[in-house]
Amino acid sequence: MKKQPRVCELCSAEAALYCASDAAYLCWSCDAGVHKANFLVARHVRRTLCVCCGRFDGRLLSGAEPLPIRPLCRSCFSPEISDPCKSSPSSCSSSLSCSLDCVSSTEKTGGRVRFRTGRSEPDYDYARAEGILVIWGRRLGLRSRRGWLALALRAVGACVRRFPALPMRVRLACSLWLAGNACEPRGLSTWQLSRLEECSRVPRKLIRLGEAKLARAVRVKDDEEEEEEEEEEGWAECSDG
């Protein structure tokens, strides 16, 4: 589908979303600058734009600084984003060895395991990540209405920031397991862990370890956002008085 370019009305960069309350197209950076001004404007509901065609993709978001994503509308969702375990077994095995070397070569010191964060990867492709998460989620029997996908993408973002040395496959598997356990009423079962291990080629011990690390990272981020909102509310009340 031919792209209909939209530009940010503040900096003229490519727009990523539209705020109906402000009647403005904005890029991620300008959106954060505008909507973190106070808790009232942070509540504005914004519509994201497809990175391929520039049309509204159906997502709605709000908040002071929502996690930047690269959304695709249904029309542009590429069938080429397929299960990498089926399409490239060699890639899966190499990713697994990379996981063991870079992460769960997770260094053991004094009986404790810690992640390496020495090297970084290029900018993360959230559109591809979303496609893979959808495929794996279906294999685990996750229902889209539970909201697990949004949480998984948020966890991926936290993982990129906190653990940049982790390979893509490990990030996705740990984020999906965290989101599934959080959104399913009874959590996920052992057969689902086995299924995730099978399709991601990430060892279950590494998935569980990553889930625990990510849970703390996401919780810290939530606490920071709550503190910022409370501080903004306090300033707003003072200015009103």
Identify which has the larger pLDDT, 213 or 104: 213
| 26 has a pLDDT exceeding 60 | yes
Identify which has the larger pLDDT, 240 or 50: 50
Q: What pLDDT is attached to residue 3?
A: 57
Q: What pLDDT is attached to residue 25?
A: 92
Residues carrying CATH 1.10.472.10, the chain:
84-222
120-146 pLDDT, tens digit each: 444 456 678 888 888 899 899 987 656
Average pLDDT (101-105) is 42
What's the whole-number average pLDDT of the chain? 72
Please tell me whether residue 74 adopts helix, strand or coil conformation. coil
Q: What pLDDT is attached to residue 54?
A: 80
Pairing of strands 56-61, 46-49: antiparallel
DSSP per position, 128-197: HHHHHHHHHHHHTT--GGG-HHHHHHHHHHHHHHH-TTS-HHHHHHHHHHHHHHHHSTT---HHHHHHHH
| 2 has a pLDDT exceeding 60 | no
* CATH class held by domain 84-222: mainly alpha
